[in-house]
Amino acid sequence: MPLPVEHVMPELFEALVQSHAVLASPPGSGKTTRVPLALLQQPWLSGKKILMLEPRRPAVRMAAAYMAGQLGEKPGETVGYRMRMERRVGPHTRIEVLTEGLFIRKLQEDPELTGVGLVIFDEFHEQSLDSELGLSLCLDVCDALREELRLLVMSATLDEQAVADLIGGKAIVSDGGLHPVTLHHLSRSAGREVLPATHRLIHRALREQEGDVLVFLPGKGEINRLEARLKEELVPADLFQLHGEMDAASQALVLTPQPAHRRRVILATDVAETSLTIEGISSVVDSGLARKPVFDPNSGLSRLTTQPIPQASASQRAGRAGRLGPGTCYRAWTETEHGSRPFQRPAEIRQADLAPLVLQLALWGVTGPGSLHWLNPPPAPAWRQGVALLEKLEALDGEGRITPHGREMAVTGLHPRLAHMLIRGGRNSPTAADLAALLSDRDPWRRGNQPFSPVDIGLRLDALEAMRQGSAPRHHFDAHRLRQLLQLSDRLHSRTRHLDAATAPFSAATLLSLAYPERIARRRDAGSGRYPGFLTTPLEIGLFLLHKARATKHLPATRERGL
């Protein structure tokens, strides 16, 4: 059965022969999996490679596996993929799917994108920081080095004409072919009881509809708690999870069609919102919530917050029910509440920590954002704050130019704070690599059904070392996650072997002070809870952090990414 996007393929092919293009098409219409394969046969791409960027790692693996399957192959042949610590690319690979962050590093290493004929920005409506940076750098490459390089921006909900005007290409819209979806809203607001309301809507969907049910929840904790409740109730369906922490085999199982007589309830995060369609879905239950990082300019740190999704995301989620036939979407909020939600979530560049972006642009040779083309220009206050941090970390000089230390930081793939800590830790400090791995990736603590987890970094360092020595992890640690973190730590540590050795290995406390120097303060008195200012000497900082690093506290799960 032809997918909706196939009806505009001739127009898309013609547009890309002339210049760049923007393709706007609803979720499930075939953008991710049909367009790259169809473009392979175009004469102007003969002997050249297609790079397709995805905002999330699960989407990278699943998109590549699906396209390879369409060709009767495995990933790594005609279609391959690349992301951190995982690569399936061979000498004959023509389509390479990769994360947006990895593409930035590839572009820095090879600005001409040798052998590449087309770069596809998939799911651009998510407006991630890396996608906007990648597009701006690609436009710079097209202007200065590769006029024949083609760019294709694909989106479901973004203003396609604004993007087309930015890149100087044609906007192509495919808006037909999907089946209608009936929307059901709550009659009364759920208030803070969104999870119980979502639970009731799952039972309603199972009672009123046929087929599989896709449930959108903000995070893994909510998935685990709801799954446990549904198991207790012996719901007449098989229960599956879908989120970013799952391994490849588990994710593939969710995408595999089940026997017609077996119903499924798939509990998912927003990973299921974009990129790939799950076969068999006829109903969607939407909590209306997502967990997103928000940068706090006052603290200089990002934290995860649970927030209502915008209308565009709600439409994306609802559309998942209309892929195979008429569908139904049950929303855990009222129609009035829906009307008060913004249409789009603000672009990440408008509310993110811009220090990583400033560092990458400095490595590119740009000292200010004005020399590049942006869909959303970086806000001046956040830019200045990023510059100030990088100067403090010795990555930039007083003129905003990158230093040799900054160049080493930029190629690590880490946040500048963690890159600075890793490099200054020296080659004889594996603890720095362990800390960088722990603080840059998902927490290995297995929270289960609990909304809280201890934030003691010492527990996690001990668990990593135990795993390194071959011991089973204690407490509630995920052994699979620990093994992944060990691989990342070893890879990071290998990058420091060319550095000078420190006079003595740094403690974890001292290393943390290198990454977060302005987060150190001295308590004014034992009970006030107020901090007058910074500690000034390395000894004071080290002693303070050494004392605090072993203090186990319990904080809400949404604050785990802070120290």
pLDDT of residue 451: 54
Q: Cα–Cα distance between 435 and 430 in angstroms, integer?
A: 9
For the entire predicted model, the pTM comes to 0.86
List all residues 6 or more positions away from 176 whose beta carbon is below 8 Å from its beta carbon: 4, 7
Q: Tokens standing for 219? A: 């995070």
pLDDT of residue 353: 92
Q: Which fold has domain 181-346?
A: Rossmann fold (3.40.50)
**What is the DSSP secondary structure assignment for residue 181, as one 8-state letter?**
E
CATH 3.40.50.300 residue spans of the chain: 4-173, 181-346
**What is the DSSP secondary structure assignment for residue 115, as one 8-state letter?**
T
pLDDT tens, the chain, 563 aa long: 677 888 899 999 999 999 999 999 887 788 899 999 999 989 999 999 999 999 988 889 989 999 999 999 999 999 999 998 889 999 999 999 999 999 999 999 999 999 999 999 999 998 999 999 999 999 999 999 999 999 999 988 778 899 999 999 999 998 766 789 999 999 999 999 999 999 999 999 999 999 999 999 999 889 999 999 999 999 999 999 998 878 778 888 888 777 777 899 999 998 888 767 788 899 999 999 999 888 777 766 777 889 999 999 999 899 889 887 899 999 999 999 999 999 988 899 998 999 999 999 999 999 999 999 999 999 999 999 999 999 999 999 999 999 999 999 999 989 999 999 999 887 667 889 999 999 888 888 776 555 556 677 888 888 888 888 888 776 678 888 888 899 999 988 887 777 665 545 678 888 888 898 877 766 555 555 554 544 444 444 444 444 444 443 333 333 222 22
Question: Are 337 and 101 in contact, with CB atoms under 8 Å apart?
Answer: no
Helices within 447-528 (DSSP H only): 457-468, 479-494, 508-515
Q: Say how many residues make up the chain.
A: 563
Q: Tokens standing for 110? A: 């090879």
pLDDT of residue 202: 97
Question: Are 155 and 127 in contact, with CB atoms under 8 Å apart?
Answer: no
**Top-tier CATH class for 4-173:** alpha beta
